[in-house]
Amino acid sequence: MVTLARRGGGDWLLSELVARAEAAGRPVIALVRAEVPGEEGCDMSLRLVPGGRVQVISQSLGREAEACALDQGALEQAVAETEAALRASAPGTPLILNKFGKVEAAGHGCRPLIALALETGHPVLTSVASENRAAFDAFAEGLAEDLPADLDGLERFLWPQGRP
pLDDT digit string, tens, across residues 66-95? 556 888 999 999 999 999 999 999 999 999
The answer to whether residue 49 is domain-embedded is no
Q: What is the pLDDT of residue 84?
A: 97
Q: Which residues of 7-16 are buried (b: 16+ CB within 10 A; e: fewer)?
A: eeebbebbbe
Range of the structural domain that residue 17 is part of? 2-32+72-158
Q: What is the pLDDT of residue 12?
A: 84
Question: Is 141 contained in some domain?
Answer: yes
User: Does the structure show a pLDDT above 60 at 157?
Assistant: yes
Q: Are 30 and 119 in contact (CB under 8 A)?
A: no
Does some domain include residue 63? Answer: no
**Residue 5: which pLDDT band, with cuts at 50, 70 and 90?**
very low
Which pLDDT score is estimated for 3? Answer: 59
Band (pLDDT 50/70/90 cuts) for residue 6 is very low
Give me the pLDDT at residue 149, please: 86
**Res. 23: pLDDT tops 50:** yes
Q: 95-100 and 29-33 as β-strands: parallel, antiparallel, unpaired?
A: parallel
Strands 29-33 and 2-6: unpaired
Number of domain units in the chain:
1
Residue 46 forms part of a structural domain:
no
Q: Is residue 47 part of a domain?
A: no
pLDDT at residue number 40: 64
pTM (predicted TM-score): 0.88
Asked whether residue 134 carries a pLDDT value surpassing 90, the answer given is yes
Predicted local distance difference test score (pLDDT) of residue 65 = 59
Q: Which pLDDT does position 124 carry in this prediction?
A: 94
Residue 107 domain-assigned (yes or no)? yes
**Residue 39 counted as domain residue:** no
In a 13 Å sphere around the CA of 108, the CA atoms on its Cβ side amount to 10
Ramachandran class of 147: left when φ > 0, alpha when ψ lies in -120 to 50, beta otherwise: beta
Residue 92 lies in a domain: yes
Percent of the chain topping pLDDT 90: 62
Task: Judge whether residue 131 has pLDDT over 70.
Answer: yes
